């Protein structure tokens, strides 16, 4: 893990004007992948229950939009 951090710090120093854009794209891609996975899982049998169990969701009403089938 330390090598990855060192490599990223070096990249940031070498690309001071572009690293933020790269980082933003990476983070946004992670969120998009997670959202796509949730949508696919909701289409599976018992997908809603699997999500609730995986994330240990207790307040289901707080996740209404997330747990609705699309």
Write the pLDDT tens digit of every residue in 27-66: 999 999 998 998 899 899 999 889 889 889 888 888 777 6
**Residues whose CB falls within 8 Å of the CB of residue 44, separated by 6 or more in sequence, listed in order:** 50
Q: What angle do CA 16, 18, 22 make, to 5 degrees?
A: 125
Averaged pLDDT for residues 3-25: 95
Averaged pLDDT for residues 11-29: 95
Q: What angle do CA 66, 34, 11 make, to 5 degrees?
A: 140
Residue 65 to residue 40: CA distance in whole angstroms: 15
The DSSP code for 15 is -
Model confidence at 22, in pLDDT bands (50, 70, 90)? very high
């Amino acid at each position: 893990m330390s090598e990855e951090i060192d490599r990223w710090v070096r990249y940031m120093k070498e690309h001071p004007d572009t690293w933020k854009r790269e980082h933003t794209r990476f983070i946004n891609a992670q969120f998009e992948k997670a959202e796509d996975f949730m949508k696919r899982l909701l289409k599976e049998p018992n997908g809603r229950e699997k999500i609730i169990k995986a994330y240990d969701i207790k307040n289901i009403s707080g996740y209404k939009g997330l747990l609705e089938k699309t």
